[in-house]
Structure 1
Amino acid sequence: MSKMWSISTTVRSPERLRAFLVALQPLVGKEWNRDSQKEYQKLLIKNRLYGYGSQQFYNGLPPDVVATINDVDAEITGTIIDRIIEAKNYQDFSMRGRQSINPLTKFGFAFIDNGILKITELGQKLIASEKDSGDVFLKSFIKWQIPNPASNDYSDDGKYDVVPFVAMLKLISEVNKLWSDRGNKSVGISKREFCLFVPTLINYRDISRYANEIVKLREAQKGKTKADRKAMRDSYRRSFAVSFLGSSVQKEIDTHLKNLRDYGDNAIRYFRLTKFIRIRGNGFYIDLEPNRHTEIESLFETAFYKPKTFIDKDEYLGYMSDDSQPRLPWQTKDKLAGIVSEVYDDVSSLQIDLGLSVLSVKNTSEMSEAELNDYISELRALRKELQEQDNHVKSQPVESITDYIEQLENIFTAENRPLRLEYLSTMGLHALNDAKEIKPNYPVGDDNEPTSTAPGGMADIECYYDDFNMICEVTMLSGRDQWYNEGQPVMRHLRDFEATNQNAYCIFIAPTIHTDSAETFWIANVHGYKGSKQKITPITINQFVLILKTLKQIRKSGRRFTHDNLRNLVESIAENAESSESSDVWVANTEDILNNWSTDLVR
């Protein structure tokens, strides 16, 4: 029976992979045995990377242990961890440490050298890349292959023969060509198509066949009703699963189809970090990033989708962990000069659109490869700055504000809702007009679209105005896990922001404000957090929408919304905590404060 490939079922979030690696650092240079494996799992618990916020993990734990875990300012001591292990009655606790390190060794960030644990040069780069780890993941994914001597998951009998990341790029490229040859606009592949065909692409020789299958299925659905299209897709998925698995056992088919979406979603999250793919069509299509055309075509020209041959596990792990391997096929002077030209065209086009002076391109003919790479990085950084300015311009028309409102009102139907909420909140804050800078902390691709949510340890969005400054924290959580994950971090992020910015506020946006979150923020405003009071304004997504609707009415009447209007609202809600006898009263008052503020502005 054939098996799909998967990125990682242990660490589903790319951001957490870096945190797992940081937690591993104290064990570097030690023998990797049952004792150190147990110690690693303990470090994950201690750093709240394992179990924290999980009701399943909390089941069976004493209440005081759960309270300690949830209090992020409290240390999870060795004694507490021993009580956790005893209460959970783990049969082989060291096995959990071995499972937790697997994704780190799988992608070349750590390895065991003659029994000694080491973090590779690539791993050190991941640790250092606090905000943007795209280049690190790219270097890893163009090497990770199936099968490989480090894994027994896939047989070495010819059935499996693929570098999944590059094969995925090639599949999208071939689908785009076939689709455009039929007179259609190329759009990449849909998320449904990705989840069905990409994790099951286990041999590069099937790329063309899969591309033809995707196009054939699209053609068959043309002119059909929505119900008929769904029936066709469901029937095809089942027959495809039977063929792929070589089994007609219903339980095996159901499990396979259930896993397809999880594996596909996870692959998209990780592969998006490389900046070689982009999301389009309101999150429903995955396409090649046009700004990486030269790099992508270079991978195809050199057939990087074909696995390499290795003598043994040590040779493969050495290859995975060696940052100098392989030499990237676009690292030639001619191709790098071509990339300079592509990025410069983007920069100059943005400068023209923004009414700015066009930067003169440097003479690249005498530059070395290293100088060309530095120049490319310089141009890409400039492009990102210009794209943020362009975002501000694009956010101003009433039509844009209407679009943000509609998307926020339908956020629960969106793909990747947490990421979408961060993006729409950023654009909504841009739309409020006169900020000196709106600075989202999420990493972005070459299209300036977010590739993942903002990393831990920093605010989601930073806002700078003439008379005050503000952070914005957003979450799609609404249950008690909202308080677990957001309560203390929001206060800590604001305190860090206060250290370098005067007159600092925080807006917290969520579907609903959980009572424990409200209580935490009320205490911070009324009694203080670590010695001094804060100004935190928790509002719901619907209340943020009302702010944007107010802005829209003001804009339509030809008047101007200023940062003073925003500050008055944020300050009124934050300061109302002082006169509210409880957090429940404070949250209830917020609706009235917001409605009165809106009425006064639009009258």
Structure 2
Amino acid sequence: MKHWNLGNTTIRNPDRIREGLGVLKEHFEGKPFTEKEHYEFYKFLAKKRIIDSGDLSKSSCEIAGRKWAACFNQLGLSIAWKSKGPVIITDVGNALLNHPENEEEIFLRQFIKYHLPSPIESGSEYKGFNVNPFYVVLKLLFDLENEANIKGITKEEISLYVITCINNDNIEQSKRSIIEYRAQYSGIKGKVKKRELFNKKKLELIKLLYKKEIDNKIVVINEYEKLYRSNAVDRDKLASLLSEIVEGGKGSKTKRATDLKREISDRIKNNDKAGAISALTGIFLETKGRTLFDYADTTVRYTAKTGLLSISGDRIVIKEDKRLLAKHIIDNFAVINEGAYLEQYYSASTPQLPSDKTDFIHRNIGTLVEHYKPIISKTTVNKLSNIKIVGDINALKSIQIKLENEILKAKEEQYYLSQSSSEMIKDILGYYNKILDRSLLGGDAYRPAYLEWTTWRLFLAIDSIVNHISETRNFKIDEELHPIHHAASGKPDMVFEYDKYVIVCEVTLRVGENQWAEEEPVPRHVAKTMEQYDKPVYGIFIAPSIHVETANEYFRKLKHIKGKWQKVNIVPLTIDQIKHILTIFDEERFNTTQLRSLLDSLIELQLKTDLPNEWLKLISKKIKQW
């Protein structure tokens, strides 16, 4: 192995870890963890809707269940191996289950300790490793900004130079490589040319990292050809050699591996050994490149769980209000002695964090006040001027949390006012494009949250909202105002109150016939909101495409509200249509009264047809002409 993976590509979304661990504890703690339990664990995860079960074979279910547990084992949350006896939920795992409010701190402690190799992850595949992955990420982020004025690291840079840093002593080399790559990248114009640079660097890196493995496979191809040309053809041996040539992380029986075996065999038959080698190296390089990209995504998602980092555009960055904490961790970093590793790794109280000390919290509060003084109220600054008299650690933490909440509220208000600028509208449209083409930093796991966040920003841009900005969304944002989780079920994604009416907005990435059927159907959300307001309520449903069954569900919809049957007005729109509306806003700056007129006109189109699919066509035509 030539790289590390902080996290697990089976659990691409670490927000599911706590729920999955709860299932392991409830049903398997104290029991053996054999293939039978692997299968049952997977089935429980599917039953709880923590995962989408799909149509998997029994063996695939067993593998998936084992991989889920492997993630918990890697993070020190459990001891759940077939060879280790009954399942144990560790002190850390129980802390995560019992204190979800401390989730960021728990992940931070674990990632500070996490080292490769370790008693948990060892063997020949870790030859040459002596690395603390989170320390590598944090150190590079901090040094690049302070020494080279490079704020944040991109997914490409993580895949090339971060996860391939397998020794703490090589951080300096990774830093120089990122600086050099960024300079070349910045000097190139056009997305195509920039992509070509990345692909070139990626191929060079993979050829360097895996030269021995590629050479060994070419040796086997030569052996295969020699045997094929011999008079005494051993078909079993030929089949064995082919399997050895194409075998990868998922074995030699996948469709891709089977197709490659056929191609290599055909090329050898046709005296095209060069073509066989080219086919092999092409697939090999493509697979390894995809792996590096996947691991970059999980690195982003898992490190963000510490609360120190945030995603800003196409980069991961240190949060501004966490810089002091990040610096303290870097300056005081120490590798755990191997003999004490497991004891400390399974402990929820180690290592001690600077945030456990009163003097650090004093300094951090002072730094926050100084940095954010222009946006927080004068009253708050005055109240905090005598903070040094407070010595109780819990009281100090409470003060810090209140300050951070006020800062977030003030930042959110400023953010609201900035969204109507052409620059921000361009950024909103760019995020919609990233969601549609699946190019978000962090991968597909972040798409639902980013779709909600991007749509929220769209309505902030149109402005004139009556309710407080923090009350318009039911999804969570971090200190940098980026989404960290999509809205919980049972509540609408967003509610925007205007002077004369209210909009309930729901978004989804589903495109099938059940796309309207979320945990709680959209009409119910709109109906509940209608009960709360004495003004008209409009539902807006946004998806990549609108299925005709969704249109049918919303077409002339009636609900029993306030003791009588009332029409529930919901307008289904595609992402492209809502992008078009935003583009018109940027050009013409229509107001919320005009937006309401558009919604009324789209609803009135129901009177022109009795067919929901025709209604969708009329909506499309109307928006294009608006």
TM-score range, shorter chain: 0.7 to 0.9
Amino acid paired to 1:147 = P
Partner Cα distance (1:9, 1:327) in 2:
29
Pick from 388, 398, 405 the counterpart of residue 374 of structure 1: 398
Contact kept, 8 Å, 1:505 with 1:535, in 2: the verdict is yes
Pick from 542, 563, 570 the counterpart of residue 536 of structure 1: 570
State whether structure 2 residue 90 is matched by structure 1 residue 115: no
Partner residue, 1:9: 9
TM-score under structure 2 normalisation?
Answer: 0.74
Partner residue, 2:299: 267
**Residues 146, 584 of structure 1: alpha-carbon distance in 2 compared, 3 angstrom cutoff:** same
Q: How does 1:37-52 map to 2 (within 5 A)?
A: 37-52=38-53
* Cα offset, 1:243, TM superposition: 3.4
Amino acid paired to 2:453 = Y
Contact kept, 8 Å, 1:443 with 1:451, in 2: the verdict is yes
Partner residue, 2:275: none
**Cα deviations across residues 227-254 of structure 1 (Å, max 9, x unaligned)?**
7766554443333323334526136544
**Residues 348, 40 of structure 1: alpha-carbon distance in 2 compared, 3 angstrom cutoff:** same
TM-score under structure 1 normalisation?
Answer: 0.77
**Residues 406, 99 of structure 1: alpha-carbon distance in 2 compared, 3 angstrom cutoff:** closer
* Cα offset, 1:12, TM superposition: 0.6
Secondary structure of 2:114 counterpart: coil
Pick from 468, 472, 476 the counterpart of residue 437 of structure 1: 468
Which protein has the bigger helix share? Answer: 2
**Cα deviations across residues 301-347 of structure 1 (Å, max 9, x unaligned)?**
1125x354245xxx62x534432221113432222111101222344
* Cα offset, 1:517, TM superposition: 3.1
Partner Cα distance (2:400, 2:195) in 1:
45
* Cα offset, 1:263, TM superposition: 0.7
Contact kept, 8 Å, 1:461 with 1:473, in 2: the verdict is yes
Gap regions ≥5 residues in structure 2: 215-280, 442-446
* Cα offset, 1:382, TM superposition: 1.0
The farther-off stretch of 468-477 and 139-148 is 468-477
Amino acid paired to 2:13 = S
* Cα offset, 1:493, TM superposition: 8.5
State whether structure 2 residue 475 is matched by structure 1 residue 450: no
Partner residue, 1:189: 153
Contact kept, 8 Å, 2:304 with 2:310, in 1: the verdict is yes
Identity of aligned residues (%): 21
Contact kept, 8 Å, 1:32 with 1:117, in 2: the verdict is no
Partner residue, 1:149: 119
Q: How does 1:578-597 map to 2 (within 5 A)?
A: 580-591=609-620, 594=623
**Residues 348, 222 of structure 1: alpha-carbon distance in 2 compared, 3 angstrom cutoff:** closer
Pick from 466, 488, 491 the counterpart of residue 518 of structure 2: 488
Q: Which has the larger radius of gyration?
A: 2
Q: Tell me the number of residue pairs that the alignment of Structure 1 and Structure 2 aligns.
A: 537
Contact kept, 8 Å, 2:162 with 2:174, in 1: the verdict is no
**Cα deviations across residues 264-314 of structure 1 (Å, max 9, x unaligned)?**
01211222233322334xx2333322321111111111125x354245xxx
Partner residue, 1:171: 140
* Cα offset, 1:348, TM superposition: 2.5
Partner residue, 2:540: 507
Partner residue, 1:237: 202
Partner residue, 1:67: none
Contact kept, 8 Å, 1:149 with 1:310, in 2: the verdict is no
Partner residue, 1:331: 356
The farther-off stretch of 132-141 and 323-332 is 132-141
Partner Cα distance (2:139, 2:527) in 1:
44
Amino acid paired to 2:610 = E
Partner Cα distance (1:32, 1:570) in 2:
59
Contact kept, 8 Å, 2:325 with 2:354, in 1: the verdict is yes
Contact kept, 8 Å, 1:195 with 1:260, in 2: the verdict is yes
Gap regions ≥5 residues in structure 1: 59-87, 180-184, 599-603
**Residues 551, 237 of structure 1: alpha-carbon distance in 2 compared, 3 angstrom cutoff:** closer
Amino acid paired to 2:517 = G
Partner Cα distance (2:337, 2:502) in 1:
53
Secondary structure of 1:286 counterpart: strand
Contact kept, 8 Å, 2:523 with 2:570, in 1: the verdict is no
Partner residue, 1:72: none
The farther-off stretch of 256-265 and 31-40 is 31-40
Amino acid paired to 1:369 = I
Pick from 333, 356, 360 the counterpart of residue 382 of structure 2: 360
The farther-off stretch of 99-108 and 384-393 is 99-108
Partner Cα distance (2:623, 2:204) in 1:
55
Partner Cα distance (1:505, 1:225) in 2:
44
Partner Cα distance (1:536, 1:228) in 2:
44
* Cα offset, 1:427, TM superposition: 1.5
